[in-house]
Amino acid sequence: MGDDAKHIYQATLDVLTRAALARDTATFARHLVLPHVIKMLDGKVVYNTEQEVHDGINEYRDKLERIGVQTVERNCSFARFVGDTMVSGYHVTQNVTRDAPLPPAYITKGVFCLIDGRWCMSLSDSAMSGEDWPDVPHRHMQAYAKDDETTRTPQEMRKAVSQKLIDHADYALLHGDFDAWRAFITLPLIFEGDIATEVFATESQLREQYENYRHDFLTYKVTDVVRVVSSTELLAQDEMRVDYRAYILNCGTNVVAPWDGRLILKRDQGLWRISRIIRSSQSLQWRSRMHQPLQPGGASSQQAVPATPAIQKPRIQREERN
């Protein structure tokens, strides 16, 4: 069923992309739920009427032409059904000029609803900002609503971008979509611990590590993986440090004690990707605990750690109800 959801997501996204590039505003509007909200990190666009869709798409196309964009590539990396009439997932957008991709690429969460036999987009939530794109479409439209009450600092912007990336990668890992997970990893991937460092330099090594994690998750009935970003630091123009708190959950109960971790992200082909995972000895305890003998019924011989109240409802699940 996941493949069907991904096909629906990509097919509808393709219709919208072709319509926007062709200035076919009638087709674009037919595949939207109005009012339609386009969220960004520092604001949003709201289309209330088909006329606003018409004006917005034409402005969007004008601005892409002014900055030399010839085509827009939007590729769904993961999607799933939320009930029978809703699909939620993620895609990556890359604008392309005559010669090369035009960074930055960015992640978007999309929600599509089945209405009168036609799949329509109801929400677009992108990890991009007006600061990233000085010529961002709709920036000067009256419909553009700056969220002044939640204006974010550069540090908060980086946290929001990295949180979306981590959510995307963890969600793909949890639901068994290797290609989606792989899209946010750059090789070599380095696991740096207190005692030793592991380097995954090939696709086969990376795939083996992925399958090991999937095996553990399935065996121990992991239902949620949540990493909450606590801070970031821009180390260089194309390198960022991300600190987070990690939770491995089974129906709201910690499988093991939460731990603090760190990622190093590098910008690769315009998109932030994970290049290094820095782990303390504490963060390694969860795998050794998972490999303890099972008790009857599938439980570990060591008792589950009580859940932290703040994460009884993991953030990833809440997002699915957007």
What's residue 133's pLDDT? 55
What's residue 307's pLDDT? 37
Kindly report the average pLDDT of the chain as a whole number: 78
- CATH of span 154-319: 3.10.450.50
The domain made up of 2-150 has a fold known as: Nuclear Transport Factor 2; Chain: A, (3.10.450)
H or E stretch at 78: strand 71-81
Q: Following DSSP, what letter does each residue of 16-33 receive, concatenated?
A: HHHHHHTT-HHHHHHTEE
Q: Which two tokens stand for residue 12?
A: 């509808």
Highest mean pLDDT among 107-121, 133-147, 246-260: 107-121
Is pLDDT above 70 for 123? Answer: yes
Integer distance in angstroms from the first to the last C-alpha of the chain? 21
What's residue 141's pLDDT? 43
Is pLDDT above 70 for 315? Answer: no
- Alpha-carbon distances, residue 270 vs 62, 88, 203, 304 (angstroms): 23, 24, 21, 41
Phi and psi, residue 26, nearest 5°: -65, -45
The structural domains of the chain, with segments of one domain joined by +, span 2-150, 154-319
Q: Which two tokens stand for residue 75?
A: 């590729």
> pLDDT, tens digit, for every residue of 259-281?
899 999 998 877 789 999 987 55
**Are domains 2-150 and 154-319 of this chain identical in fold?**
yes
Neighbours of 196 (CB within 10 A): 7
